[in-house]
Amino acid sequence: MDTLTLIRPDDWHSHLRDGSALTQTSADMARYMGRVIVMPNLVPAVTNARLAAEYRQRILRSMQTTARQFDPLMTLYLTDATSEADIREAAEIDWLAAVKLYPAGATTNSDAGVNSLEALYPILATMEEVDLPLLVHGEVTDQDVDIFDREAAFIGEHLAPIIDRFPKLRVVLEHITTRDAVDFVKSAGPRVAATITAHHLLLNRNDMLVGGIKPHYYCLPILKRRQHQEALRGAATGEDRSFFIGTDSAPHEQHAKESACGCAGVYTAHASLEFYAEVFDELAALDRLEDFASLRGPDFYGRPRNGDTVQLRRVDWTVPATIPLGDSELVPLRAGETLHWQVVDAGAP
């Protein structure tokens, strides 16, 4: 198979940032994504519908010069101060798709995150009532827990009790990295799903650490052992429709990544669908890519599938060494390397 036509995919978890960075991140996302769920971890955080509307307008303005546009679906940043009124207002807005839970200190710009999940159970009850999904960055922040074990610990200590207490709450465990997460989602029922990134399918912790630390592979949740990578690959290409695309593409300036304390995040928006195609091709599962990338996400979120298509072709091309990011540059995943699939027809603007 040398060409592949898919219903237009969506990205159900991505970071666009703000300001001058939006020119590049929006253009990359608009290449072939129909919709994108935009993360709210700006500074200050997007904590209510007004701030989400203002951010959405900035994104839409940034796309005025692009050939085509995507539909930005916004999220609220769950904090200790989130109110029932915030949730009810958000549930009435079609483009406000979900609420995002960051444990305080878990990842980039998460300082405003939740300190006590149990204290927010009344808010989760309201979300269950109005059917507003909860998106979860699933890691504990206890410094006594090894960084490679924090996802599994979060599932056992926090996520499982939430699912038990709120069985009608729709929950997405974001950017999963472990076999523990795969097994949990498979057993949790139809109202629990998970997104899987391209970089967690392509890489494991050996890729990041062997032969010297590679800062552009550093992300949170951190890359895990090969056995966990294989579990993710099995989930993405398998028949369980609880797993779908969410790139977690995260732009960081090159100097911020290549520093004494480099920030966490991998940028994949420049070639995310091509990355997924390479993995599915390697696993002889190209016939399942459309379900993973284009169908499962809309079905879980109760939104219509896109009505147009994109086409990929098996062709070698080289990823740029750097990509503009506002007044600076970023280093994208697989910079300077050759990829073997490329989107050649992204559909009409």
- CATH code at position 98: 3.20.20.140
**122 phi, psi to nearest 5 deg:** -60, -35
Q: Is 285 annotated as a binding residue?
A: no
Residue 305: the pLDDT is 98
CA 34 to chain centre: 15
**9-33: average pLDDT:** 96
**86-92: average pLDDT:** 98
**37-47: average pLDDT:** 95
pLDDT at 74 over 90: yes
Residue that is written with structure tokens 């951190």 in the block: 222
| Sequence-distant (≥ 6) Cβ neighbours of residue 50 within 8 angstroms | none
**88-98: average pLDDT:** 98
Residue 111: the pLDDT is 63
Q: Considering the chain, what percentage of its residues have pLDDT values greater than 70? A: 97
pLDDT, averaged across the chain: 95
Q: How far apart are the first and last CA of the chain?
A: 27
Six-digit token string for 301: 């979120």
Strand 192-196 to 171-173 pairing: parallel
pLDDT band at 114 (very low <50, low <70, confident <90, very high): confident
Q: Is 51 annotated as a binding residue?
A: no
Least confident of 82-86, 105-109, 175-179: 105-109
CA 326 to chain centre: 22
The more confidently predicted of residues 348 and 120 is 120
Contact criterion met (CB below 8 Å) for 253 and 329: yes
Domain range for 87 is: 3-345
**264-269: average pLDDT:** 97
Q: Is 308 a catalytic residue?
A: no
Residue 119: the pLDDT is 87
C-alpha to C-alpha distances, 313 to 1, 218, 232, 281, 317, nearest whole angstrom: 9, 30, 25, 12, 11
Q: Is 264 annotated as a binding residue?
A: yes
C-alpha to C-alpha distances, 134 to 35, 120, 124, 150, 174, nearest whole angstrom: 18, 12, 8, 19, 10
Least confident of 58-72, 84-98, 175-189: 58-72
Six-digit token string for 158: 């926090």
Q: Is 325 annotated as a binding residue?
A: no
Count CB-CB contacts under 10 A for residue 259.
11
pLDDT band at 103 (very low <50, low <70, confident <90, very high): confident
pLDDT at 175 over 80: yes
Residue 64: the pLDDT is 85
Residue 77: the pLDDT is 95
Residue 247: the pLDDT is 98
Reported as a single tens digit per residue, the pLDDT across 303-347 is: 999 999 999 999 999 999 999 999 999 999 999 999 999 999 777
pLDDT band at 110 (very low <50, low <70, confident <90, very high): low
Q: Is 56 annotated as a binding residue?
A: no
Q: What is the C-alpha separation between 117 and 211, in angstroms, rounded?
A: 40
Six-digit token string for 322: 């750097």
Q: Is 199 annotated as a binding residue?
A: no
The rounded radius of gyration (Å) of the Cα atoms in the chain is 19
Six-digit token string for 251: 């732009």
Give me the helix-helix angle, 22-30 and 49-62, nearest 10°. Answer: 80
> Cα-Cα-Cα-Cα dihedral of 64, 328, 337, 341, to 10°?
-10
The more confidently predicted of residues 109 and 16 is 16
Q: Considering the chain, what percentage of its residues have pLDDT values greater than 90? A: 90
Instruction: Report the domain count for the chain.
Output: 1
pLDDT band at 264 (very low <50, low <70, confident <90, very high): very high
- Residue 35's H or E segment, with its range, is strand 35-38
CA 288 to chain centre: 20
**42-52: average pLDDT:** 96
**100-124: average pLDDT:** 79
248, 281, 299, 308: the active-site residue: 248
Reported as a single tens digit per residue, the pLDDT across 274-301 is: 999 999 999 999 999 999 999 999 999 9
